[in-house]
Structure 1
C-alpha cells in the first residue's frame, strides 16, 4: 500500500451516508506540513467498504492561491463558501500568525472568516492556529492549548483563554486546539476516534505509520535538559505494565520494576509521560476497555476484570470520567460488525 488514502473504484453508492465535510482554511504564510495533516489523517478514515468517512477540502479566504512559509504557493480548489458548508473547520498555523496578532489585523481577518462557520460546526486549530480562534473570540473562558513556544505571548495577548500549554491537545467539545506539528496528527486521530471509534483510528494510524494514540494530557516536548543516554527511564516499566493491566499494579511495584525509589520513579515518570503513574494506568485501562467494547462481546464485568478495574461499577465510573459515557453507551455507538473487524485488521 503506497498511500494513506486508498480509494475504492467507481462512484460512491447513492445509499451510502454522506461523509463528514471538513474545510481546512489556508491563510497567507500557511505552514505546508500542518496544512496537509487533516487530509492525510481524516482523509484516510474509511468505511468498512473503503469509502471515505470525511470529505476534506482546502479553501482560502477568497479562492486565490496562498503563499506558504516554505517558498512556494498552494492553489486551494475552494473559496470561503466551504466554511459555511463544513461540519468541521480546521485552521492550520502560519509563519506570520504571531505578527498578525501583534499588529491587530488578525482579529478582523479571523472574525470575518470564522463568522462564516455554520451553527453546530466544530472548530479545530493546529499549533498557532489557536491565535486565529482566540482573535475571533472563540476561546474566551474555554480551555485551549498552543505551541509551548508561543504560550507566554499568547497568554499576555489573550488573558481570558484558559491556556494549558503543557498538553498535546485540548478537546472542549465543539472547539479543539492542539500544540505544534505532530500534535496536530494526534488531534486528528482523536477526532477519528471520537467520531468512529478506536479501530478506525488505529487503521488510519497503521496506514500512515504513526503512533495510534497519545493522550491529549501528555506533556508537550517542552525544551528541557536531555538525560544522558545511560540514564534510567520509565519506558521499559510502562511497556511491562501494559502487558499486565489486568493486575492491581501498585506504585511500589512499578518503582521496583524500574529499580528506583518511589519518589524518583514518580518524578521521572511525570517528566517523561506528562502525568502521574496512577493517572496513566487508568487511561491505559480505559483505552483497553474501549477496544474490548468495540471488538468483543464480553460482558462489562468481564471487561472490567480484563482491564484491572475489578468491577463493572468501577469501569463505569472511570469511563464516564474519562470518556463521558457509560460502557454500554460506548458499545452501542462503536461496536464493530464482523465485516468491520476484518477491515480494521
Structure 2
C-alpha cells in the first residue's frame, strides 16, 4: 500500500486511542474521470481533522461540513455517491462526467485497525473485509495482490507492502531514476558490486547492496508488486539480473541500452534456458519515446513505462523507444505521417 494510506491507518489508530469518533472513507467505485483511484482512503475525525485524500478537496470539504453539523454516528457503514449529475460534478470539483462511490465506515475497536497496522508493519499482505450490515471486520490472506472488491454487502480492500523496485547499477542515471521512484512511493533497492560507483551513492530513501545481481534478485524474491531495471550497460551485471528476473512474476523487467545492444542481449539470454514467453517480458530498450537525451529525461521515460505497466495500461507500439526512434527517422526523411501506418 502507499505510504499515504499507511498514514491514514496510523492516524486512525492514534485517534481511536485518544477517544475520538471518526469515519474511514474509502473510494469503492469511480466512473469517468476521477481525481483519486478506487481504494483511496481518508480518515475524518469528529472535530473535522482529516488525514488522506479522496478528491481534489471539494468532497473532503463537504464531508467535513457534514461531520461538523451532525457528528459521527456509531452505526453501520453506508454508501454515498458524488458527481451523479453534471451540476454536482461541477460543485464538487470532479472532472466532466466523473462519479465516485464512497463507503463511510464508523471506526470502533471492532474495526481491527491496530491488528491491520501490526500486520502491515511486519510486511504482510492482508485482505480486510467489512460487513456492511453489521460493521464487523475480518482480516485474512488476500486472493489477489491489489484492488478493491465491493458487492454492496461486503467491502474487501487489499493492504500490503509498497511496490518494490530493484535497480542494477549506481551510476548517474540511477540517481535520477531512484530520486523520482522514491517520490512515487517505491521501496527502492540499488545493487552494484563495483567499488567505484558505490562510494559516491547518496540517494535518501534507498537501500544500496553490493551483492551480485543474480543473487540479489533471488534474495529479493520478486512478486507482482516488483519492478527490476538494469542500467549498467555491463552484460556481466545486467544479464545476471535479467536471467533471474524474467523467471519471476515481477510486473516490469526492463534494460537500458540501444536497439542493437538489446537485440544482442536477447540472443545472449537465450543461452540461459529462458523460454520465448519469458524473453518476451523484457522491456528493452526500457522506457517510452519522448526524445530523451539527458539522464533526468531518460529516467522520466523509464518511469513513465513502469507506471503504465503498474497501472495495467497497454501503451501503443509507437511509444516504444525502438518504434519511436524509427518513426522519427522516417519522418525526418520526409515520409508523410500517414505512411507510418504501413510501417507498423
Pick the TM interval, shorter chain: 0.3 to 0.5
TM-score (norm 2): 0.35
**Higher RCO (C-alpha 8 Å, min separation 6):** 1
* Bigger strand share: 2
TM-score (norm 1): 0.35
